[in-house]
Amino acid sequence: MRESVMTRVASVLVVGGGIGGLSTAIALRRAGIQVELVEINSDWKVYQIGIVVQANFIRAMAALGIADQAIASGFPYNGLSFQDLHGNVLREIKGTNLGGERYPSHLGMSRPALHKVLTHAALACGTNVRLGTTFTNIEQNEQRVRVTFSDGTASDYDVLIGADGVYSKVRSCIFGPQWVPKFTGQGVWRYTIRRPKELTSSFYCVGLEGGKCGFIPLSPETGYIWLVQSEPGNPRHPEQRLAEILRERLAPCGGMMARLREQIVDPALVVYRPLEALLMPPPWYRGRVLLIGDAAHATTPHMGQGAAQAVEDAVVIGELLAREEPVATLFEGFVKRRYQRCKFVVESSLQIGEWEQQAEPQGDAATLTEKMLQVMASPI
């Protein structure tokens, strides 16, 4: 497909109202592009879980004009520590202030808090959001993308961006059903607790069989315990036993983690999911349809970079689509700038997970984490 006329992109459909989709809407609206966003869920809510983001995420949020709002909604801090199961510090890792001296190197926040910041900004800048709606058909030619929706309507756009997550319907529609996420052999457990006042940064506890655990502060009042561990056979855990199982998994821990473990009492508050990953080969586009975020590069949480990479995608595509160049040139430029960086995150995260599942781990997760922070300090 070749474009016969070069014109500036004026209208974009974003499919998916998560971190990547909302960030993209904000970036495109800041570039003066008309944006419509469709989200399949009519109840636009997210899990009550915590996430940790690092300096490159904060830098990207600053580029979108919403870093201050994000920081005010979470718990900013600088650096983290790797500890043994008894709380003895093995290594301290300092972060960098990529967004400027007034910004922290790390930020813990609840997923609903981040969602609120992003939705408010996307709506405030004029994004047309349609909830409870998805596409049923995509047709494209050299000039436009025609999309038919689940409510029976149809519209034309210059570009469609698939930001609909790890199980992307856009990906399967455009690239075929063969691209599916793969189970990594581990699962992640999360539980929100009251934050002890003395815990003002995150820590990782290494030495658990098949994984590691840790703590992230989320707000002045809250934080969350997390556990990443091997899950042979990808089991379905009984919902009524989730709190009990999580406490049992953390039983080898002493020190602060043992204290925090006692707050795990309500199975309904345990969020568990198996870890899956996917890295699409380049290019991440066909014609006028582009994949971003988890739809193109779904990673595991070992490096805390999933959200950051989605927001970086948004910043880059917002910058590029503001130019008056052929869409194929812009998309090719996007993949060129993003592929190797996202590939490093996905593969390094998987490498740490593989090390953790070995009977005698052969790698150094702390050193690889430090390398990741150095790579992420480079411009996007």
For 260-285, what is each residue's pLDDT tens digit? 999 999 999 999 999 999 999 999 99
Whether 245 maps to a domain, the answer reads: no
Omega before residue 220 within 30° of 0, cis? no
Whether 256 maps to a domain, the answer reads: no
- Rounded to an integer, the average pLDDT of 89-116 is 90
Q: CA nearest 289: which of 15, 27, 41, 7?
A: 15
Q: Are 216 and 54 in contact (CB under 8 A)?
A: no
The dihedral built from the CA positions of residue 65, 68, 74 and 76, taken in this order, carries a sign that is positive
Whether 295 maps to a domain, the answer reads: yes
pLDDT (0 to 100) of residue 361: 74
Tens of pLDDT, residues 143-158: 999 999 999 999 999 9
Give the DSSP H/E element, type plus range, for residue 353.
helix 327-357
- Interacting residues of 260 by C-beta distance below 8 A, sequence separation 6+: 193, 196, 215, 225
> Does pLDDT of 122 surpass 70?
yes
**How confident is residue 254, by pLDDT bands cut at 50, 70 and 90?**
very high
Whether 209 maps to a domain, the answer reads: no
Whether 201 maps to a domain, the answer reads: no
Tokens at residue 222, please?
């809250």
Q: CA nearest 38: which of 114, 116, 186, 138?
A: 138
Return the exposure string of 242-255: e unless at least 16 CB atoms fall within 10 Å of the residue's CB, then b: bbebbbebbeebee
**How confident is residue 102, by pLDDT bands cut at 50, 70 and 90?**
confident
Share of the chain above pLDDT 70, in %: 98
pLDDT (0 to 100) of residue 5: 53
**How confident is residue 347, by pLDDT bands cut at 50, 70 and 90?**
very high
Total of domains in the chain: 1
**How confident is residue 27, by pLDDT bands cut at 50, 70 and 90?**
very high
Residue 286: domain span: 11-181+276-376
Distance of CA 215 to the CA centre of its chain: 18
> Does pLDDT of 378 surpass 50?
yes
CA pair distance 107, 76, nearest whole angstrom: 4
CA pair distance 297, 306, nearest whole angstrom: 9
Which CATH number does the domain housing residue 57 bear? 3.50.50.60
3-class secondary-structure state, position 176: coil
> Does pLDDT of 299 surpass 60?
yes
> Does pLDDT of 222 surpass 80?
yes
| Lowest model confidence (mean pLDDT) among 12-16, 96-100, 139-143, 260-264 | 96-100
Whether 90 maps to a domain, the answer reads: yes
CA pair distance 301, 190, nearest whole angstrom: 12
**How confident is residue 99, by pLDDT bands cut at 50, 70 and 90?**
confident
Phi, psi values for residue 215, rounded to 5°: -140, 140
Whether 301 maps to a domain, the answer reads: yes
Whether 198 maps to a domain, the answer reads: no
| Lowest model confidence (mean pLDDT) among 7-21, 331-345, 353-367 | 353-367
Tens of pLDDT, residues 74-88: 999 998 999 999 999
pLDDT (0 to 100) of residue 46: 85
CA pair distance 36, 15, nearest whole angstrom: 9
> Does pLDDT of 4 surpass 80?
no
Mean pLDDT over each residue of the chain, to the nearest integer:
95
**How confident is residue 100, by pLDDT bands cut at 50, 70 and 90?**
confident
**How confident is residue 363, by pLDDT bands cut at 50, 70 and 90?**
confident
pLDDT (0 to 100) of residue 98: 83
What's the half-sphere exposure (Cβ side, CA atoms, 13 Å) at 69? 16
